[in-house]
Amino acid sequence: GCRLVVSVIEQLAQWHNSTVKAATERLCNYIPGKYQIICHMLCCIDKEMNADVVCHSLKLCKQDPGQPLCHLYPPPKVSWFSTFLKATDCGSFMGFSSVCAFPLLANLCEKIKYVIRNKLPFEDFDGDKYSTFPTLRGYHWRGRDCDDKNATVYPGRRPDNWDVKSDSNCNGIWGVDPKDGIPYEEKFCKGADSQGVVLLGDSAGAHFHIPPEWMTVTQMSVKSFTNLPMAFTDEFDWPQFSEITGFLNSTIGGWTDSLYLRLRRRNRCNHRDLQNISQNGIMYFPINMAVYLSFSLARNQLLDNPAIVIYATIGNDVCNGNRDTLAHMTTPKEMLSNVVQALRYLDSRLPNGSHVILTGLVDGRFLWDNLHDRYHPLGQLNRDITYSQIYSFLDCLQVSPCSGWLTHNETLRNLTSERALQLSNVLKEIARSEKFANFDVFYMDFPLKQTAEEWQKMGGEPWQLIEPVDGFHPSQVAGALGTSITWQKALREWPQVLGKENPFNEQIEAIFKDQGGH
């Protein structure tokens, strides 16, 4: 993180032909409010010091004994030690271990740690696991609560007395039609196969994204960082635009198309019934899944509608940052045990008539093949940093999101894909052979190949399907195209999963329009 910020400051100075001090002030003016502390701490930058040296001198980066010295840029001509001595007077920020150590951000970081640990909204006054606040695991992640003082009112429940007096399930449909005295919920939603969508996923499902304009100095302005507070409090995830639970128009490029939106268009009674229970950086995701779900899944087997549950950890079981990465991958035997354990727990929680879709792992060789020799956003100004260099830097630090795929070692990339295929076959066999009381189980491959083919037919390039800053996650375009491909597959092969079209959708929307509703 320090290296990214320092690199941006140095490039700003170059682009605007200014001093480093002026570039630092420029960046600080771009960044909103308390987040300016991130750039104010970099008071000691010297033009003769590259980002590696600055961050080591601030002690935000360090070299552990016996470990290699990790650097993003070529080492300076003088020795590192003498360069450090030159940069020792860095003020009160020396020695802070992370951004969260700064007093202005400490309280916010504690809130973020809480929601990461519990996967629940930070602001939830009635304890029903739904919120009226967007970030900190609020309604960007699960349907918006319409009464946060009443734990019996939340998205996804079956209506209380057909919602004659109030909207108990937050789908906006309540009251009685004055023409015939029939409750609107009964008239429009009875027998409509209403169901929600739940994602159990990793950072791809949460839609991890760092805006490239944050580090592209030729495009940088105050407008570039207006979304920083929201991104920070959403863990740099954008579930509101994601391919499973997205519901807002994308502001990060591409367009939003999601399973939730398509289910909502198919049946307007499904409004707000969504949950995105995903987390960045979980390793061995299915282990202790029952504990994970018990704190996070909001579904009452007796009171709520059925749900479509998407189980999609498309890379975490083979991805880690360890040097001996193969030894830390999930084995087929572990995969079988962990996923069956998770499904048994779901069987005790999901209402009857639910569905579970197991998604296979991705073939991550696509990443290296399409990105390794391209310039990263940090390297575009001077054409000096490729994705291959970024991958090597992260691997040296042992924080690579996937050492097995983000590597120049072709043999290792192939072995990682081989393990991913083995684990996908385990999921496929589970869907074929395991039976449960309250849901049926389906399997689908992650549609990367079909997505790339479709995108190329539209005139796009394969590398555009990958997040540009991290060079690892699916982009907004990839997610939207993947949704379309998955939906068409479901219509062909499992139409019962999607439920039937609600013939009253137009009437519901017309009433909302007449009443000024949303």
Give me the pLDDT at residue 216, please.
95
The reply to whether 238 falls in a domain is: yes
- The SS3 assignment for 157 reads strand
* Residue finishing a domain among 9, 41, 67: 67
Q: Are 504 and 478 in contact (CB under 8 A)?
A: no
More confident residue, 286 or 472: 472
Instruction: Report the pLDDT value the prediction gives residue 91, as an integer from 0 to 100.
Output: 47
In this predicted model, what pLDDT tens digit does every residue of 347-403 receive, in sequence order? 999 999 999 999 999 999 999 999 999 999 999 999 999 999 999 999 999 999 999
Instruction: Confirm whether 85 is domain-assigned.
Output: no
Of 47, 67, 87, the last residue of a domain is 67
Beta strands in 428-485 (DSSP E): 439-444
Structural domain span for residue 10: 1-67
Does 272 reside within a domain?
A: yes
The mean pLDDT value for 238-246 works out to 98
Active site residues: 203
Q: Is residue 41 part of a domain?
A: yes
Give the closest residue to 203 by CA, choosing from 120, 315, 322: 315
C-alpha to C-alpha distance for 295 and 273, rounded to whole angstroms: 18
Measured CA to CA, the distance from residue 193 to residue 353 in angstroms comes to 9
How confident is the model over 232-244, as a mean pLDDT? Answer: 97
What's the rounded mean pLDDT across residues 289-318?
Answer: 87
| Nearest alpha carbon to residue 507 among 150, 182, 154, 78 | 182
Of 24, 42, 67, which residue is a domain's last?
A: 67
Q: What is the pLDDT of residues 496-511, one digit of tens each?
A: 999 999 999 999 988 8
In a domain, 153, yes or no: no
Tell me the average pLDDT across 415-419: 98
- Domain presence at residue 74: no
List, in order, residues 6 or more apart from 410 with CB less than 8 Å away. none
Q: CA 305, 311, 317: angle at the middle one, nearest 5?
A: 160
Q: Provide the pLDDT for residue 286.
A: 44
Q: With beta carbons less than 8 A apart as the criterion, state whether 459 and 442 touch.
A: no
Handedness of CA 63, 64, 68, 70 (dihedral sign): negative
User: Cβ neighbours of residue 11 under 8 Å, at least 6 residues apart?
Assistant: 217, 378, 381, 382
Q: In this model, does residue 115 exceed pLDDT 90? A: no
Q: Are residues 443 and 301 in the same domain?
A: yes
Residue 189 confidence (pLDDT)? 97
Work out the pLDDT band at 518, boundaries 50, 70, 90.
Answer: very low
Residue 69: how many CB atoms within 10 A of its CB?
A: 11
Nearest to 448 by CA among 428, 461, 462: 462
Indicate whether 442 pLDDT > 50. Answer: yes
The total number of structural domains in the chain stands at: 2
Instruction: Return d(Cα 34, Cα 104) in angstroms, integer.
Output: 6
pLDDT one-digit tens code per residue, 173-193: 999 999 999 999 999 999 999
Strand locations in 70-185, DSSP E? none
Q: Would residue 240 count as lying in a domain?
A: yes
Cβ–Cβ under 8 Å, residues 199 and 308: no
Report the pLDDT value the prediction gives residue 297, as an integer from 0 to 100.
94
Q: Is residue 112 part of a domain?
A: no
Question: Which residues lie across from 304 on neighbouring strands?
Answer: 157
Q: Are 499 and 266 in contact (CB under 8 A)?
A: yes
